[in-house]
Chain A
Amino acid sequence: MKNSSSYTTVAYLFLAPALILMGIFTFWPVGYNTYLAFHIYDIAEGTARVASAEDGGYFTHFKYIYGEDLFHQALKNSLLYLLVVPCIQLAALVMAKLVNNKLPGMTFFRATYYIPVITAISVAGVAWAFVYKFDGMLNGFLTWITHFVGIHSGFEKVEIDWIGNPDIALYSVMVFTFWKGLGYYMVLYLAGLQAIPAEVEEAAILDGANAWDRFWKITVPMVKPTILLCTLLSTIAAMKAFQEVIVLTKGQSDTYTALFYVYDQAFRNYNFGRAAAAGLVVTFFCMILAVIQFRFFGEKK
């Protein structure tokens, strides 16, 4: 047999490309980001220097974002964004339940539900911007409805500025996230549902349980591991949401999210240090959320 040290060398050689690339582009950024957060980065020179007393001390970036309303609002918006999580989970599970059978057309519906997932967020965002604008399709639809029901008459139109009005813009962006992610979680739930033996449900039908009871008392408990996975994934995704903001509102009308703030500071303000500090705060929040969820679901198991 081969000796074990050369065997280990081979294993590490196989792992080398992955480890080197992850080292450079995944792990190094975590360390360097922390470093940057306490330094002043000069874009033109490409150098970082320690934040001195004149700059406001070692914690200058943290002090700045601590006192800045925009960052507070961004954090608040990111937490508010978590509202998407339960909605998307429930809808995706219902969706998966609907397509998990052998009726005709199911392949078609599954594919249809997956379309938003496989379109580029930028292009889908442009389409939605046109749905949302004040003379856009959504208002056209609502106008039609109100005429139909008779609330409005004649040439009156619904003119709601869905992504321009600060009171509702964030929710509109959340609906876009919901639309974009639904199919992804549907597929995950479908995998979970297909692991449930058909007999369980058939037995419940024989016992006279209705669809509502079967859903809450059989389906939900049986796919609990998938629910944990999906909740974790979608919570992190919601906390990290910001590409939606870039493509839909560019941060206007009070839609800054935490990571959009990071992006904005880095590539519009070119203040890399401040962006890094804000990024560190976001990472911290993400970790807390992950730990809470593991605790919460771990105990229930």
Chain B
Amino acid sequence: MAMSKNVRQALGLTGHYSGLILFAIFTTFPFLWALASGLSADASKMYLFPDGFWPHDASFMWFERVFQEMPFLTYTKNSAIMSFFTIIGVVVVSVLAGYPLARMKFPGRGLIFVAIIATMMLPSEVGIVPNFITLKNFGDFGNWIQESLGLGSSWNMREWIGLNSYFGAIIPNFAGAFGIFLMKQAFEAIPQDLIDAARVDGATEMQILWKVMVPVTAPSIAALAIFTLVNAWNDYLWPSIVMNSKEKLPLAVGVFNDLTGPFATSDNILMAAIVMTVVPVLVFFAFTQRYFISGMDGAVK
């Protein structure tokens, strides 16, 4: 007890914040560096430490060049379309499946729930080969429909539901154990009285789900939608396998291909492109942060 209490407290606090700041530097330095390099017209100091971490001869020229050298807006549009429909799909499927698992008693419930949870343990990536073949067959099926209906080849229905389609790039993500589990947990937290009252009033299960359960679990649904948006926006592997025409690529794939491909002309454009891809997600995250924490919280409990 040589030190006074205040000094010890101040030291403790300094240590605490030093730890926090060190971690913060570790998690953000690649993006801070990318931001500084993207803003520097003078590229010569980019790889010097610590000079690389602030802009030299600041300008937005590299950001403008990004729009000229890659179809950035097309990629953004594709990401938006794919994310939007993924959210709809995931929310509908998860809400519908979560309700009976949480609040209805029927034969096979336990087994189905265990099966869904077990999929979390499987290395789902092993499914990419069979899923690739399945989608190829979907495409053939689309083509068959087109031919049976006598439609011209300009319809190109193979690319509506098969490989190289938005549908194919997102459909495997619709039914996920995480979403179903999250909604099941949310529905279980609702008081039984609410459901009983609705049943006494003669409501069908669909009405109970739509008019009672969905409004009450809106925060959980929002959390699920936000999670899904971020995952869909960032999904790289599966779209990179399914999509083969450049004009259908989402940001995560298109930007990566352009940055690592033969068109990568300057490191600074690359850094500017990285910043532009990351920033929309960050802005969105800044506004919805609390849902991430509370959503994960719900899933753990």
Contact = CB atoms under 8 A, between A and B. Distances in A.
Interface string B274-292: 1001100110011001001
Interface in B224-254: 230, 233-237, 240-241, 251-253
Interface in A129-150: 129-131, 135-137, 139-141, 143-144
Interface string B75-94: 00000000000000000111
A25 to B, nearest CB: 4
Interface string A213-247: 00000000000001001000000100110110011
A66 interface: no
B100 interface: yes
Q: How large is the interface on A (under 10, 10 to 19, 20 to 34, 35 or more residues)?
A: 35 or more
B152 interface: no
Interface in A1-49: 7-8, 10-12, 14-15, 17-19, 21-22, 24-30, 32-33, 36, 41, 46
Interface stretch (A54-62, A80-88, A119-127): A119-127
B112 to A, nearest CB: 7
Contacts of A247: 236, 256
B28 interface: yes
A129 B96 CA distance: 43
A179 interface: yes
A75 interface: no
Interface in B24-48: 24, 26-28, 30-31, 33-34, 47-48
B124 interface: yes
B134 interface: yes
B248 to A, nearest CB: 16
B219 interface: no
A130 B134 contact: no
A18 to B, nearest CB: 4
B256 A123 contact: yes
B196 to A, nearest CB: 12
A128 interface: yes
A18 B31 contact: no
Contacts of B222: none
Chain B interface size band reads 35 or more
Contact of B126 (A99, A105, A182, A283): A283
14 contacts: A10-B204, A10-B206, A11-B100, A15-B96, A15-B97, A30-B126, A99-B20, A112-B24, A113-B23, A119-B234, A127-B34, A130-B271, A259-B126, A266-B128
Given A130-B270, A179-B26, A247-B256, 14 more contacts: A14-B209, A15-B100, A17-B92, A109-B20, A113-B23, A118-B230, A120-B277, A127-B274, A129-B260, A187-B296, A188-B300, A226-B300, A262-B125, A263-B125
Interface of B: 12-13, 16, 19-20, 23-24, 26-28, 30-31, 33-34, 47-50, 52, 92-94, 96-97, 99-101, 104, 106-107, 109, 112, 115-116, 119, 121-134, 136-137, 140, 171-172, 174-175, 180, 204-206, 209, 230, 233-237, 240-241, 251-253, 255-256, 259-260, 267, 270-271, 274, 277-278, 281-282, 285-286, 289, 292-293, 296-297, 300-301
Interface of A: 7-8, 10-12, 14-15, 17-19, 21-22, 24-30, 32-33, 36, 41, 46, 94-95, 98-99, 103, 105, 107, 109-116, 118-131, 135-137, 139-141, 143-144, 179, 182-183, 187-188, 190-192, 194, 211, 226, 229, 236, 239-240, 242-243, 246-247, 259, 262-263, 266-267, 272, 275-276, 279-280, 282-283, 286-287, 290
